[in-house]
Amino acid sequence: MLYLTDPDRLSDVLAEEPRYRSTQLHEWLYEHPVLSTTDMTNLPDGLRRDLEPMHWPFTLDLEQTADGGRTVKWLFRCGDGSPVETVLMGYPSRTTLCISSQVGCAMGCTFCATGQFGFDRHLEAGEIVAQVAYANAHLREQPLPNSPSRVTNVVFMGMGEPLANYDRTMEAVRRMIEHMQLSARAITISTVGLVPGMRRMLLEPWPLNLAVSLHSTIPAERSRIVPINDRYPIDDVVAAAGEYYRVKGRRVSLEWTLIAGENDSDDEAIGLARIARDIHAHVNVIAVNPTPMSDDAPPTRDAMQRFVGMLRSKGANVTIRDTRGKDIDAACGQLRLRAEER
Ligand code: SF4
């Protein structure tokens, strides 16, 4: 499998070919990816045919488009049938790809369709990177309206907890930076608060963005929504996030999935604003995307505005994140859910 091979070792799969073929193949895989080896125009026909079955580590199972063509969601299937979800979102100044790092997830967050499936396996570094390459290959043929025609930003916010798959995640990050010209400042690692992984990130050479999912500031309530809070309590998570800001100089973002009647109270807003101020973090609030396996409902528009207004009045920097692709099950794990129902 081409993407499962270290980009520096492509000559291993081209043993019979002259050395310059590895440079050509590298360009087609990482710098200017194409959907099919038939488009690798400077490779001989026979080689293109031989490489085709090895090209992608997955096949496309489902593709859905929403938001006037500005959101595209893919469900891929790996060779072992494992589902991988990836979402491409176009904005005027950036094209963001939300990628998966695991098949399923062991964290069990109550509002999340992926968490409700449980954990299957880690994705390999090559399976993570291939999602970015596939998106670039797709954009080459079908750019999103009024958005850059290459992935400019990558967020690890799809299926899985990237810091639970630490080594493969960081190897994927290395390949994106060293082989795909992505800036570390344009890559965001999102975690539900795995403190040891957050501390390991301090030692990485890159100024990656860190997003920490809090969802509640009240320990017992957070443990209910985010069960890993029992192992890594919120105070330790916030301390690790604050250290990341101090050491790396990168402002951390605090993610808050707003659930009606669960974490939308004034007390929660006041507690969240205090944490955000203390560690100079930015708050992203997003309404929960309902899933069939949970009763969690999004807040009303008024409740959302009140929560965000309270945060701002207490001095927090806040962005309301739009729920892209609502009509296509774009929240993490939801497309897989749809596919399993077929
Ligand atoms: S929200 Fe993230 S960490 Fe929690 S279960 Fe879903 S994929 Fe895992």
In this structure, what CATH number is given to the domain that contains residue 90? Answer: 3.20.20.70
Of the candidates 78, 85, 105, 112, the residue annotated as catalytic is: 85
Query: Which residues sit with their C-beta closer than 6 Å to ligand 1?
Result: 105, 107-109, 112, 114-115, 159-161, 192, 332
**22-36, 158-172, 199-213, 313-327: which range is least confident on average?**
313-327
Could you tell me if 123 and 13 lie in one domain?
Answer: no
In the prediction, which pLDDT does 65 show? 96
Note if 85 is an active site residue.
Answer: yes
User: Which of these, 303, 221, 302, lies nearest to 262 by C-alpha position?
Assistant: 221
Residue 330 has pLDDT above 70, yes or no: no
Could you tell me if 66 and 51 lie in one domain?
Answer: no
CA distance 71 to 138: 13
Could you tell me if 229 and 300 lie in one domain?
Answer: yes
Give the domain extent around 33.
1-55
Could you tell me if 166 and 65 lie in one domain?
Answer: yes
Residue 341 has pLDDT above 80, yes or no: no
Residue where the block lists tokens 């692709």 = 325
In the prediction, which pLDDT does 293 show? 78
Could you tell me if 36 and 171 lie in one domain?
Answer: no
N-to-C CA span, the chain? 29
Residue 339 has pLDDT above 70, yes or no: no
For ligand 1, the distance from its centroid to the CA atom of residue 11, given in whole angstroms, is 38
> Of the residues 55, 81, 100, which one is the last residue of a structural domain?
55
Choosing from 107, 155, 156, 194 the residue with most ligand 1 atoms within 8 A of its CB, the one to mutate for a pocket test is 107
Could you tell me if 69 and 19 lie in one domain?
Answer: no
Could you tell me if 49 and 185 lie in one domain?
Answer: no
Q: Locate the ligand 1 atom nearest the alpha carbon of residue 157 and give its number.
A: 2
The total domain count for the chain is: 2
Note if 332 is an active site residue.
Answer: yes
66 strand-pairing partners: 71
pTM here?
Answer: 0.95
The secondary structure of 157-211 as a DSSP string is -SSS-GGGGHHHHHHHHHHHHHHS---GGGEEEEES--HHHHHHHTTSSS--EEE
Residue 258 has pLDDT above 60, yes or no: yes
Q: What 8-state DSSP symbol labels residue 251? A: -
**E strand or H helix at 127:** helix 125-141
Task: Give 41's pLDDT tier (boundaries 50, 70, 90).
Answer: very high
